[in-house]
Amino acid sequence: MTKFKSTTSKLVIAVTSLAALTACQNNNQNNDISAKDISVVMQAKSDSTAKGQVNFKEENNLVSMQAHFTGLNKGPHAIHIHAQANCNASDAKSAGGHWNPTNEQHGQWGDKAGYHKGDIGNFEVDADGTGQITFQTNEWCIDCGDNNKNILGKSVIVHQGSDDFVSQPSGNAGVRVACGEIIK
C-alpha cells in the first residue's frame, strides 16, 4: 500500500509539473501573440515631396504609434487615420474621410465634446522638412475584430496644414500630402 501511495504521489507530482510547464509555455505563446506590429510606408500625394514611415505596435491592449516624415513644409501639419486603406488617388481622397466608427463630431483627441477615433492631432515640422510624432492609446487595436477600435484596413493621412479641431467634419487641415495604408 505504501508503494502505491508513493507511486501515486510521484504521478501527481509529474502531472502537476507537466501542467505547470504547459501553462508557462502557453503564457509565453500568448505574450508573443499579443504583441502586434505594422509598418506603414507613406506615399507623396497632391504633388508634394512628403515621405515617411509610421509604425504601430500593440502590446498589452495599448497601441503606440511612431511616425517620421521628410519633405514637408515647415510648420504644423495634421495627421489622421482615414476610413479606407486606399491611397490610389493622386490626392488621396480614395482613403475617404476620417475614421469615425462611433459617429462623433470632429475634435481634439480626448475632448469631452467628442472626437473621431482617427483624430490624432498636429505635429511640428522643422525648417529641414522633417517631423515626427508619437501617440499612444487604448482606444485602438490591430486586427482585433472590434470595428470601433481596429485600425487595420484604414489609412494614415498627413495634411498640408494644421487641424483647427473645430471645423466639421475634418478640421480644415488642407490637402492631403501623404498617405499610407494600414494593411498586413
- Comparing C-alpha atoms, which of 61, 37, 80 is closest to residue 178? 80
- Comparing C-alpha atoms, which of 122, 123, 126 is closest to residue 164? 122
What pLDDT shows up at residue 182? Answer: 97
Tell me if 45 sits within 8 A of 87, measured CB to CB: yes
Pairwise CA distance, residues 153 & 82, whole Å: 9
- In the numeric block, the cell 498617405 is attached to 179
pLDDT digits (tens, 9 = 90+) for 23-37: 444 443 333 445 799
Tell me if 92 sits within 8 A of 46, measured CB to CB: yes
pLDDT digits (tens, 9 = 90+) for 126-175: 999 999 999 999 999 999 989 999 999 999 999 999 999 998 888 899 99
pLDDT digits (tens, 9 = 90+) for 39-88: 999 999 999 999 999 999 999 999 999 999 999 999 999 999 999 999 99
Question: 6 falls in which pLDDT band (50, 70, 90)?
Answer: very low
Distances (CA, A) of 175 to 77, 96, 114: 11, 13, 23
Tell me if 159 sits within 8 A of 78, measured CB to CB: yes
Tell me if 136 sits within 8 A of 57, measured CB to CB: no
